[in-house]
Amino acid sequence: MNDILLGCIQCGKCTGGCPVSVRSSLNIRKLIYRSLIKIKDKNKDLGIWECTTCSTCSIRCPKGVNVVDYIIDLRSDEIERGKVQPQVRDTLESVFKFGNPWGRVREKRADWIEENGVKILQPGEKTEFLYFVGCTPCYDTRTQEVARAMVRVLKTASCDFSILGTRETCCGNEIKRMGEVGLFEMLIEDNSKLFKGISIKTLFTTSPHCYNTFKNEYPGLDFAIEHYTTLINRFIKEGRINPEGKFERKVVFHDPCFLGKQNDVFEEPREILRAIPGIELVEFERSREKSLCCEGGGGRMWVESESEEERLAVTRVKDAADLKVDVIATACPFCLLTLEDAVKTSNLEDKIKIMDIIEILDWVTKVENDKLTD
């Protein structure tokens, strides 16, 4: 029997809280039961690729069973047997070859940078803040806008920050959760070597996924690790960033699972939004620890769902429409992309805009306000 499962009493609280169990064949309690009584069905994945690794199950389990690690184990088995969707295989191969899951060459990793530039840290150099941009904001055209907004806002804060440019490589958070633990360990080694060659006081990330793995899964890092929302919130409190313009919109904050549920960062994103003049901030009924997952985590950006049922991001957008908000704000590139896609497929593009918090702050702190239109 898998040791991770010792203690399971089959109460079903994991399945009861699992957001994807309502729209797919994934039934985590049943999977655990099959493992406990040693049923082996190597031809069926029983919905394991539907899991978003949101961790709701592990958080709800009264016996402390780490359900997510069990799912990762099951995925590792599938990968070892070569029983994975071609898209999953291509994603893993891309990380191995190019250091990103998007199949893009390393040389283009820093192409998102605007003409006025940002300092690229060279081996042996020092920086107070290292901005770890992440694969998605480096390559995806929509989330590149988030990285550019980050740079503009940090410049208004007179922050001494640098990036790694084309030397930056995938953090591996999603790779581990897709079950490719060997490749994840290789990425830890590559990144740790890169960090050892420079001197950093604080590393901060765009993505809660990068933040999660650097903070909780990389051994021996000797600098502080933050998600940008905690850093920016501190800069606002210290008066280094002054949101002066008005953003007169009704806004709801969507908690990213890897920021809130998994790392207890609930307040800082809301404090930033409250500091922005003009915002009417409202809450989803399912918010904070109970926030509904957008289905972007756990490698799901690169996994084809087997289910025809309504996607959770669509449910989320409909909930936002019921609240009559103008903007869903979030602080994660995956949430941004899944929610934006859901707004399009729900024909709500004219009513609801999806924005990263840093984009809203960019709007009110500067400057190039003409980039965003009503």
Positions that interact with ligand SF4 (CB under 6 A):
8-14, 17-20, 28-29, 32, 51-57, 60-61, 63, 65, 67-68, 71
Which of 166, 307 has the CB closer to ligand SF4?
307
- 315: nearest Cα among 351, 356, 343, 335: 343
Which of 52, 207 has the CB closer to ligand SF4?
52
The CB density around residue 143, as the number of other CB atoms within 10 Å, is 25
Which residues have C-beta within 8 Å of that of residue 160, sequence separation ≥ 6? 127, 128, 129
CB of residue 308 to ligand SF4, shortest distance in Å? 18
Tokens, residue 290: 């109970």
CB of residue 94 to ligand SF4, shortest distance in Å? 24
- Residue-wise over 173-190: b if at least 16 C-beta within 10 A, else e? bbbbbbbbbebbebbbee
- DSSP SS3 for 264: coil
Which of 66, 166 has the CB closer to ligand SF4?
66
Which of 20, 236 has the CB closer to ligand SF4?
20
CB of residue 178 to ligand SF4, shortest distance in Å? 13
CB of residue 268 to ligand SF4, shortest distance in Å? 23
Which of 75, 109 has the CB closer to ligand SF4?
75
Which of 74, 200 has the CB closer to ligand SF4?
74
* Residue ranges in the chain assigned as alpha helix (H): 13-17, 28-36, 56-60, 67-80, 86-98, 135-139, 141-156, 173-177, 181-196, 208-216, 228-237, 267-275, 312-322, 333-345, 357-365
CB of residue 5 to ligand SF4, shortest distance in Å? 7
CB of residue 233 to ligand SF4, shortest distance in Å? 27
